[in-house]
Amino acid sequence: KLNNILKAERKFRLFYWLKYFSKTKSYFFNSLFKNIKNIKKDKKVGITKNNVLLLHNFLKISNMIIRRTFIFICTILCANVLFAQFYSGGVKYSINGSTVSVTGYDASTLPANLEIPNTVTNEETGQSYTVTAIGESAFYYCQDLIAISIPNTVTSIGDYAFKNTPLVSITFEENSNLLTIGSYAFQYCSSLASIIIPKSVTSFGSYAFGSCSALSTVTFEEDSELTTIWGSAFSSCISLT
């Protein structure tokens, strides 16, 4: 439904501005030809009233066309940004070439136990994309999300991505390629009791797991490549010993 709404809005914007642009173009040429005919009837040579009028109308209409063309182009660019996104399985994806990032969700269709796929298909276009990132604030304060499985194609989890969610389970697919966990990514996930960090992870941001009060076990896979843990990454994790 969301894809259909976006598609309808896109068609409306295009139709509106094309109609507006066409109307302006028609007005410009009608006025131009009218003034040219008037000049032909004038036998005098040099600057005439009709010459001045023609120049005035030309400049006026040219400015109008430039303004409306600029607005039209801006509208198209905004539409391209808007329609570089789509929903699938309750998750919002933003397109970046042949890959996508998870950037939001639809609370009405998002499952409590979410398994993000390695690849996802835009139903509107039929194009498939590789999921490579979970963006900033993607699931911020999502109160229906209980468990999540993150595919091995994801290389980064953005700041605030899962902040203040009731997660009890976070699973990383085998052979994970995750490199970074952003600041505040899992802060206030107060129901999370344990987590296994993939060996590919190289850094945690500040307060990445801050105030996860039930977190009692953090396991790092063997041969971990972790090199950086920013300040207070596990601040106020009162169950950690």
**Per-residue model confidence (pLDDT) at position 234:** 95
**Per-residue model confidence (pLDDT) at position 81:** 47
**Per-residue model confidence (pLDDT) at position 45:** 46
Give the other-Cβ count within 10 Å of 13's Cβ: 16
Tens place of pLDDT per residue across the chain (241 aa): 555 555 555 555 555 555 554 555 455 445 555 555 554 444 444 555 555 566 666 666 767 777 766 665 665 555 444 559 999 999 999 999 999 999 999 999 999 999 999 999 999 899 999 999 999 999 999 999 999 999 999 999 999 999 999 999 999 999 999 999 999 999 999 999 999 999 999 999 999 999 999 999 999 999 999 999 999 999 999 999 7
**For residue 28, which amino acid is it?**
F
Give the strands of the sheet with 147-150, arranged side by side: 113-115, 147-150, 169-172
Q: Report pTM.
A: 0.69
**Per-residue model confidence (pLDDT) at position 171:** 97
Tokens 């952003």, residue?
182
Tens of pLDDT, residues 138-163: 999 999 999 999 999 999 999 999 99
